[in-house]
Every structure is written in C-alpha cells, then in structure tokens.
Chains A and B, each alone.
Chain A
Amino acid sequence: MRRHVLPGFGISLGYALTYLGLIVLLPLAALAWKASGIGVAGLLHLLSSPRTLAALRLSFGGALLAAAVNAVIGLLVAWVLVRYRFPGRRLFDALVDLPFALPTAVAGIALTTLYAPNGWLGGWLATWSIKVAYAPLGVLLAMVFVGFPFVVRTLQPVLESLDRDVEDAAESLGARRWQTFVRVILPMLAPTLLTGFALALARAVGEYGSVIFIAGNIPMRSEIAPLLIVQKLEQFDYAGAAALGVVMLLFSFVLLVVVALLQRWSVRWTESGR
C-alpha cells in the first residue's frame, strides 16, 4: 500500500547501496582480500603472539571500561543537564560536543600537556603517585574523552521525553528517590543507555590519534592494537596489518551485535514489566 503512494524507493535505495558499496564495502573487501594473504597459519601465529593479545586486550578492555565509565558519567551529566536548572547550564551543555569536534591529535596533545608529570593536573596527581600520562590510565582517559558525547547525546532526548507521571506515581506509592531511580527510571533508560554505550565503545576501540600521544606505547603494557597495525605497515607487512584490522573489525562487530541483543532483551523486559 505504502509502496504505491511514496515515491523514490528505487532511487534512494539504489543510491544508498551504490554509495555504501563504493565508499565502504569495496575498500573493506580489499582489506579482507589483503588480509587473506597471511593464510591460516599466519593468522594463528598473529593471534597467538603475546604482544598482539596484549594490544587487543588493552584496546578492547580499555574501550569497554571507557564505555562503562562514560555510561555512568554520561548518565549523570545528561540527568543534570535535563532535569536541573543552574547558571551556565547551556554552556556546559554545548561543551559536551567538544570531543566530537576537537581533532583527535589536538585532544591528545592537550591531554598530555595537562596530565604529564610536569603538567597542571599530572603534577598534582603525581603527589598521590597516580600516573596518567604514559601509562595505561592515559589510554583510558583518552578513550573516555573521545567517546564521552555519545552517551550524553543519546540519553538527553529520551530523558526529556520521559514520562514524569510514572516517577510521581512511584513516589506517591511511597518509593524513595533512589528506589524510583533504580526500579523505574533506569529500566526505561536502559535501551538508550546501551546505544550510547555501544557507540562510545566502537569509537574508543579504534581510536588512534589521541591515544598515541598519551599512552607511552610500551609493548605489552600501553600499546594499543591500532599502533600495532601502524608498526606492521611500516615494515611493509600489509597482510599482517590488514589481518589485524579485520580481526579488530570482527571483534567490534561482535561486540556491537551483543549490545544490540542486550538492548532488544532490555526493551522486551521493560515492556513486559510495565
């Protein structure tokens, strides 16, 4: 019925598919083709190398942790920005987009300047013997930075449209603020929170520009997987670099699918709960 009324199905889908095919799929096919050059033995060798594993662990572990941190802080920030009125609210609201817009290299340099042992914050943290720059914590910091806007920006519109009646009802029934939050609001936000989490995760996994400035890049400790790809490239090991790239891509894809499943599950759970 719809199909007869609305025009442009052929052209819009055709255009989108062609564009996507040329810009994304064809290049990624080239990547997969190049990666296949290392063969099964080569892949096993690559994946069994402790250094590769350590780098993947740091990239994915760091990104998961960073996304979790972002989920918590993002929820807090989104909540405060939507629910409370205070001076400078608009300014801080605008500031949230900064990591989207600030070039990653600039972010990396600025964060390193701040958190290096002789920087404003780094010096202060050093007195507590907390090391951020040139340590795994620096990787985490940069990853939190680049992924931060995703959680806040996905949560905000939903928080705004959230039905306050439900909260009021819960409270009039004698629920405490905290209980209302945990039992009523959080479940309603869960699907959106997961979207934000997934986006922040995907962004952090592949991040290169800002991380290499602050990481220290010591193998087995603060070396991220994209850096390993770059190192392989510089030794003309295209196949190895491509293979690692494909492994990372598959990993992130699986993670995103898992998050999507969780999300579907949480939507169902919320709906059946109501």
Chain B
Amino acid sequence: MKKLPVLLALVATLVTATTAARDVTVLNVSYDPTRELYRDVNAAFAAQWKARHGDNVTIQMSHGGSGKQARSVVDGLSADVVTLALAWDIDAIADHGLLAKDWQQRLPQNSSPYTSTIVFLVRKGNPKGIKDWPDLIKPGVQVITPNPKTSGGARWTFLAAWGYALKQPGGNEAKARAFTQELFKHMPVLDAGARGATNTFAQRGVGDVLLAWENEALLARQELGKDAFEVVVPSVTILAEPPVAVVDGNADKHGTRAIAEAYLKFLYSPQGQAIEAGHFYRPRSPDVAQQFAAQFPRVNTFTIKDVFGTWRQVQAKFFADGAIFDQIGPGN
C-alpha cells in the first residue's frame, strides 16, 4: 500500500518533466562513437539557436550500432534527424518511406559534413612492427575489429582491406577475397560495436592491433593513455563518409523541420566544423582542415564510389545474408 504514493509521485514528476518544459526537443539518432562529438555540437547549436530565435532547444541523443539504430527508426523511434555510420542505413530508412530516396543529394558532399578513415591502433612501440595491411596477416598477429554484420565502422574496415588488396599491382577480386579472408582468420574476438572492440583491445589487453575509425583511434589514445598506444596509418585506406539526414516523416509530424535542417546545416558551418575536427573527425572545410592539420596524418584514400559503386550495391554484394562476408568471414 505504501507504494501507491511513491508511484503517484513518480508519475507526477515524469509528467511535469515532459510537459512543463516548453522548449523544443529534437531527437538525433546516431551511431556508436559520436557520443562525445554531439554532446559538444548540441550545446553549441542550442546556444546559437537561442541567441537567434529565442527558443530553448533540447537535443536528445540515442547512440548504438548504426544498423540497430536504423532499424529502431524504421520500427518507430521518432528521430527528427539521423546521423549514422554509412549511407546504406539511411537508405534502409528511406525504403520504408520515412524520407525521400534521394536524401543524399539534399546536403553538400553526399550529406557527409565530416569524414573519417580507417587506421590501425597498435600498442606502444609497435612490438609486432605493423606498418601496412600485409603486416596484419603475418603469423601470430591478432587483429581486433567489430563484426561487420552489426557495426558500421567494421564495414568500412572490411571495404578498406578489400580495396587495398584490389589496388595492389596485379590485384583482382580473387586476391582481394583471399586477403580479406586471411585477415578475418586473425581475429580472436568480434565485438558487436566499435566501442566494444576498443574496450576489448585497450582495456582487456587482447590483440596486437585494432582496426578502427581514425576518430575512434585518436580518441581512444587520448582517453585511455597516450603512452600506451600508437596510431599507424596504412599506405592506402578508405575515405569513410558518415551521412546525416532529416527524417521527413518524423520532423514534419513534430513540426521540427526548420530546426532539424538548421541543426544539420550547423554541422557544415565553420563553428560546427571546428567542433568536429576537435573530436578527430576530418572536416570538409579546407580552412578548418588547415587549422587542425597537425592532428591528422596525411592519408591516401579511395571512396566507395571509386571502387565499389553505391552503398546499396556494396550491401548486396558483401554484407547481405549469404553474400561475400558470410562466405569468407570468420568461421569459414
């Protein structure tokens, strides 16, 4: 019986918490490693919006594996904007009618305000002497990366390895296949997400090299010990373009379209670009890139379009059920 007043009080607080706050809320559904980035972006954007329009904006965040997040939006998680790891995940949302299929043309540069790439994080002193992709498949080297089936970042990693092998002199599909297959034989653990893999490598001390987003590797180094890890940039790697989009269906229903669009545009503004660079995402703006040049090593990159076509094609060829990853991935 004593529970009743407590229950009522809880319900009351919950109700007042949601109705009394008369500010605008926008839900940004994002992927795993962007937690720190959007915390700062949201604060800066909210301040700017308040200065210009007077409203209090609260941007709610949801983070998780990119594929899982896309599925949640399809299942009814009412995201106003999505900021995911790869275009296929937003394509999947578009396939269910929540936004136009040509969403990627609506914002500059394939709707990716920032980019990243795939690099190697090794332990201090690089004891296994890992310099480039072929070193990963040397005997005794253990490689950590998440499962491409559940992690967007790992799909970029898979494609980076494939593209590297393809671009070698005499490289072809068969050789790329053989190289990637061998690479996955060197993986003792497949975590579900990028953060899980980083924790396994850094906290649990498993493996010799972590294949990760550049932003994730640089952040891990900063958070978990500059002296403990080194970043190695391979001879060639992929230019990862994490896209953003307004989810039309939800934003229109909530009446948040204007603010949602302004939020995504803010990501392209000089202020937004500087915040992104500060969190180790490569900015699109040449000026900001110049400013942060010391932080980002020079890399040779290829894009999805250069080598594979569209993400839709990539998904069908490599990651769908029974496709190449299932044929050559671990366990085969």
Do chains A and B directly touch (beta carbons under 8 Å) in the complex? yes
Whether A118 and B204, one on each chain, are in contact in the complex, defined by CB atoms closer than 8 angstroms, is yes
> Which of B68, B190, B321 sits near A218, CB closer than 8 Å?
B190
Secondary structure dominating the interface of B: loop
A37 to chain B, nearest CB (A): 14
Whether B149 and A220, one on each chain, are in contact in the complex, defined by CB atoms closer than 8 angstroms, is no
B75 to chain A, nearest CB (A): 9
Cβ of B262 under 8 Å from chain A: no
Whether A230 and B150, one on each chain, are in contact in the complex, defined by CB atoms closer than 8 angstroms, is yes
Which residues of A from 46 to 71 have beta carbons under 8 Å from B?
51, 54
Which residues of A from 223 to 263 have beta carbons under 8 Å from B?
223, 227, 230-237, 240
A216-B190 contact in complex given A234-B71, A235-B67, A235-B320, C-beta closer than 8 Å: yes
Q: Which residues of A contact B200 (CB under 8 A)?
A: 134
Whether A217 and B204, one on each chain, are in contact in the complex, defined by CB atoms closer than 8 angstroms, is no
Whether A217 and B191, one on each chain, are in contact in the complex, defined by CB atoms closer than 8 angstroms, is yes
Whether A117 and B204, one on each chain, are in contact in the complex, defined by CB atoms closer than 8 angstroms, is yes
Whether B149 and A234, one on each chain, are in contact in the complex, defined by CB atoms closer than 8 angstroms, is yes
Q: Which residues of B contact A217 (CB under 8 A)?
A: 147, 189-192
Whether B330 and A233, one on each chain, are in contact in the complex, defined by CB atoms closer than 8 angstroms, is no
A236 to B147, alpha carbons, bound, how many Å? Answer: 16
A159 to chain B, nearest CB (A): 35
A118-B321 contact in complex given A216-B190, A235-B67, A235-B149, C-beta closer than 8 Å: no
Chain A minimum-CB-distance residue to B96: A236
A240 to B332, alpha carbons, bound, how many Å? Answer: 21
Chain A proximity mask over B138-167: 1 for CB below 8 Å, otherwise 0:
000000000101100000000000000000
B152 to chain A, nearest CB (A): 10
A216 to B197, alpha carbons, bound, how many Å? Answer: 10
Chain A proximity mask over B320-332: 1 for CB below 8 Å, otherwise 0:
1100001001111
Which residues of A from 132 to 177 have beta carbons under 8 Å from B?
133-134
A119 to B192, alpha carbons, bound, how many Å? Answer: 21
Which residues of A from 179 to 225 have beta carbons under 8 Å from B?
212, 216-221, 223
A243 to chain B, nearest CB (A): 12
Whether A219 and B331, one on each chain, are in contact in the complex, defined by CB atoms closer than 8 angstroms, is yes
Whether B321 and A240, one on each chain, are in contact in the complex, defined by CB atoms closer than 8 angstroms, is yes
A234-B68 contact in complex given A117-B205, A216-B189, C-beta closer than 8 Å: yes
Chain B minimum-CB-distance residue to A45: B322
Q: Which residues of B contact A117 (CB under 8 A)?
A: 204-206
Cβ of B188 under 8 Å from chain A: yes
A6 to B205, alpha carbons, bound, how many Å? Answer: 64
Chain B minimum-CB-distance residue to A51: B331
Whether B192 and A220, one on each chain, are in contact in the complex, defined by CB atoms closer than 8 angstroms, is no
A45 to B209, alpha carbons, bound, how many Å? Answer: 36
Whether A237 and B321, one on each chain, are in contact in the complex, defined by CB atoms closer than 8 angstroms, is yes
Chain A proximity mask over B42-72: 1 for CB below 8 Å, otherwise 0:
0000000000000000000000010110010
Q: Which residues of A contact B332 (CB under 8 A)?
A: 220
What is A's interface to B at a CB cutoff of 8 Å? Answer: 51, 54, 112-113, 116-119, 133-134, 212, 216-221, 223, 227, 230-237, 240
Q: What are 26 inter-chain pairs, A to B, with CB distance below 8 A? A: A116-B203, A116-B206, A117-B206, A118-B205, A134-B200, A212-B192, A216-B189, A217-B147, A217-B192, A218-B187, A218-B188, A218-B330, A218-B331, A220-B331, A220-B332, A221-B330, A227-B192, A230-B192, A231-B147, A233-B68, A234-B150, A235-B67, A235-B319, A236-B71, A236-B92, A240-B321
7 closest A-B pairs (Cβ-Cβ)? A220-B331, A219-B331, A118-B205, A234-B67, A116-B204, A216-B189, A231-B149
